[in-house]
A and B are shown apart, each in its own frame.
Chain A
Amino acid sequence: MGKAKAVATLKAPRRGTVYIKVEGTLFKGGGWQHAAYLAANAQSFSDRVFKLAQIGLSMPVSLFLGQGDPDLANRWIYAGLKGLSRDRIEVLTEEYLEKVLKEGLRRDAVDFFLKLRAEGHPMVFFSGALDGFIRPLLQRLQLGEELHSNRLEYKNDLATGRLLEPVMGGYAGLQSLLASAERSGADLAKAYAYGSEHGDFFLLRAVGHPCAVNPDLRLLRVARELNWPILEWD
């Protein structure tokens, strides 16, 4: 586990499915940074300003209207991408992916999950970021294919600003993930989950072996209260 500072003892998972929140765990930052990168590189300068402003507003929107559920903020962020072309989004996403691989990766986390994968653990990744960003990231890291993330809706190859259902990143998305797990007969009591934000709480509390990785303040508080293992990866 390299330089990880285990606040609580972490036992290597045995047999159970491993659920991993991608952003915050495998790399620093979240989906909103990716969205902001896209917005900051829109074709026209005025678009850049408006889109960035909209994405910037997602935090107060989430605080005041979201009632702790990041779902609304997530939808708000991606609404800011309305009008961007599929070409631009995909090309810029490739750029951003390179940036993350170069500067933002938590290498220790990647090594840890690669080891679990090599040991044959079923792994399910989930993310509130865009599929077009996260899926190639996982492929490049050779971490796995099962991913639940967000997909933008396009009309005439222009982003409508809407996300296709089920929208991940909020409670509803995690509920849908858990429902899918139950349908496939997964034993959540034996499952492990690694999350980084308070928004992941819904999933963490549903599995037998939750773990907070580089948690935000709210998740840190909850993890401490519930005596969950807490990992700090550089």
Chain B
Amino acid sequence: MPKLSIHRAYRGKHILLTGASGFLGKVWLSLMLDRIPEIEKIYVLIRRKRDTGAWERFEEIVATSYAFEPLHRRHGEALGAYLAERVEVVEGDVSLPDFGIDPEAAEDLTRKLDLIVHCAGLVDFEPDLREAVETNISGSLHAVDFAKRCQRAALVHVSTCYVVGDIREGMAPEALAPDYAPNGRPMDAEAEYEELLSFVKTASLKDSEWVDEARRRAAGYGWPNGYTYSKSLAESLIRKRAGDLKYSVVRPAVVESSMHYPFPGWNEGAQTCAPLSYLLGTWLRFFPINTRHVLDVIPVDYVCQAVTVAGAALMEGCASQVIQVGSSQRNPLRLDRMLELLNLAHRAHWRQSASPLERIFLSRWDSVAVSQDSPLGPESLRKTAAAVFEALRGLKERSPKAIHEYLNKALSSVNKAKWALVKTEKVVEVFAPFIYRTDFRFVTEALAKYQIEEEAFAAKPEDIDWRHYIMKVLEPGLRRWCYPVLEGKPVEKLSAPRGFRIPRGDRPGLRIAGRAR
């Protein structure tokens, strides 16, 4: 069992992070800055956004994201100066070769870097094919190429457990197969990528058709969606192109609210459990899930610990090629239990509501699992709502004007319900591979083989108390940070101390090291 000291491995090291504006990237960066002061420098690759430069974007991220709350708490007004010493912002773009970094700055980095942590990626399950290729595939290959240019840098590539695709039985292994396709259809990753690049350049499609195209290609090889297809293709290509490069692929399962860091419940965006949990807290009563299947949920800080361990192992020469981070092997959470706990979490919330309707009825309105083709499922209900809508419209045409006002009200309500059900149906369709069709379970042996000296970095999914996590951590976190996104409401932002600035200019440390070409 390899022994690892995280502090020793990272002491004096130079690390480049991509994807620092994402959920995982932010938590990882904050964790490293908070817990491993021995790191010499973290270079943060950030893309310019219109008129906002990388440096300003980084400053805004630190000032407004709750991921950095522990740093604000620990350093107070001195945080700016601390970051100026520890972090260097590099303006760049993963979709460009060498990340689009200014050549001089890139050259400088190739001499200094010990590790590249490539977190950047598109996490939308149903992405536009162009964006999936640009970010998830080309971006990953740029990371490989840049790492190979470096004198000694190793690469941690963050992928997803779900690259395994529509497995039929057993547990997905921690293996990286070149030219992998889940359904066994012959696949040449290089040829597929070339074809994709050419297709993206030449095809003329509508936006929605690009999404359909990604889905179509994914389905052809047995992946549930364009996201997993692009991530898996990237993995195959990394395997083929890595050569002598030292690398590890870290595959998290469903990354969810933090257990401990930055604080229990922190979450961002609305990609995974949020839409499902949100629907369960509404009047929707019959939800199509396969209760015998497992949903592999893993808190974001556990994934960050795994990324940290992967990096340490690479730098200490005891790396695993693939590290899967999930709970399904050691502490499986079945969907029936997840449904039960989310119901109970919603109940606890609605019991405190000021509205009697919510307090008395919605709190007792538990969702129950049904089969996908159930007459009580969202699809059937949507069809019923559509039929009622049409019937009312027909009635309006034949009825006297005196009752039109009432019929208009009824039509408006039914139409609203119909569209709510259309949205629900869409969510159910997007998540069907994970909650209905396939029982995804993942081997997670690689991480467990390390004997980590620092307990704080030894993530143990087997210790997760699911009832506590879902009711007290996950659901309240989703309610605070993610449901507002789904409702189109503003999300609460951290309010950094007034006057928070990261010193720049002639101070050593933070500066714009490169400019996007």
Contact = CB atoms under 8 A, between A and B. Distances in A.
Contacts of B364: 41
A157 B471 contact: no
Contacts of A85: 337, 340
Interface residues of B, number: 12
A88 B368 contact: no
Contacts of B344: 87-88, 91
Nearest to A43: B366
A207 B348 CA distance: 44
Interface in A41-83: 41, 43-44
Contacts of A88: 340, 344
B277 to A, nearest CB: 16
B503 to A, nearest CB: 50
Contacts of A90: 467
Which DSSP category, helix, strand, loop or mixed, fits chain B's interface? Answer: helix
Interface in A196-210: none
Interface string A84-103: 01011011000100000000
Nearest to B345: A91
B363 to A, nearest CB: 9
B339 to A, nearest CB: 8
A24 to B, nearest CB: 27
Contacts of A157: 337
Contact of A43 (B343, B351, B467): B343
Contacts of A44: 366, 368
A90 B471 CA distance: 13
Interface in B290-345: 337, 340-341, 343-344
Contacts, number: 23
A196 B467 CA distance: 36
A22 to B, nearest CB: 26
B341 A87 contact: yes
Contacts of B341: 87
Contact of A87 (B340, B351, B366, B368): B340
Contacts of B366: 43-44
Interface in A85-126: 85, 87-88, 90-91, 95
Contacts of A41: 364
A157 B471 CA distance: 17
Nearest to A92: B344
A43 B291 CA distance: 14
Nearest to A90: B467
Interface string A8-44: 0000000000000000000000000000000001011
A200 to B, nearest CB: 34
B368 A43 contact: yes
Interface in B374-409: none
A157 to B, nearest CB: 7
Contact of A91 (B337, B368, B467): B467
A47 B337 CA distance: 17
A43 B365 CA distance: 8
Contacts of B337: 85, 87, 157
A95 B350 CA distance: 13
A68 B348 CA distance: 40
Contacts of B471: 91
Nearest to B470: A87
Contacts of A87: 337, 340-341, 344, 467
A90 B466 CA distance: 13
A83 B165 CA distance: 34
B13 to A, nearest CB: 44
Nearest to B348: A91
A49 to B, nearest CB: 13
A230 B206 CA distance: 84
Nearest to A46: B368
Nearest to B351: A95
Counting chain A CB atoms within 10 Å of each CB, the highest count among B366, B467, B471 belongs to B366
A43 B340 CA distance: 8
Interface string B435-472: 00000000000000000000000000000000100010
A88 B467 CA distance: 10
Interface in B181-214: none
Nearest to B336: A85
Interface string B345-364: 00010010000000000001
A157 B340 CA distance: 12
Counting chain A CB atoms within 10 Å of each CB, the highest count among B344, B348, B364, B467 belongs to B344
A44 B376 CA distance: 14
A43 B467 CA distance: 16
B427 to A, nearest CB: 21
A50 B467 CA distance: 27
A57 B340 CA distance: 28
Contacts of A91: 344, 348, 467, 471
Counting chain B CB atoms within 10 Å of each CB, the highest count among A44, A87, A90, A157 belongs to A87
A106 to B, nearest CB: 26
A85 B368 CA distance: 13
A163 B23 CA distance: 47
B133 to A, nearest CB: 43
A132 to B, nearest CB: 13
A57 to B, nearest CB: 23
Contacts of A43: 340, 343, 366, 368
A85 B467 CA distance: 12
B367 to A, nearest CB: 8
Interface string A156-182: 010000000000000000000000000
B285 to A, nearest CB: 9
A88 B340 CA distance: 7
Contacts of B340: 43, 85, 87-88
Contacts of B467: 87, 90-91
Nearest to B466: A87
A145 to B, nearest CB: 24
A32 B306 CA distance: 49
Nearest to A157: B337
Given A43-B366, A91-B467, A95-B351, 9 more contacts: A43-B343, A44-B366, A85-B337, A85-B340, A88-B340, A88-B344, A90-B467, A91-B471, A157-B337
Nearest 7 A/B pairs, CB to CB: A43-B366, A91-B344, A44-B368, A85-B340, A87-B467, A87-B340, A87-B341
19 contacts: A41-B364, A43-B340, A43-B343, A43-B368, A44-B366, A44-B368, A85-B337, A87-B337, A87-B340, A87-B341, A87-B344, A87-B467, A88-B340, A88-B344, A90-B467, A91-B348, A91-B467, A91-B471, A95-B351
Interface of B: 337, 340-341, 343-344, 348, 351, 364, 366, 368, 467, 471
Interface of A: 41, 43-44, 85, 87-88, 90-91, 95, 157
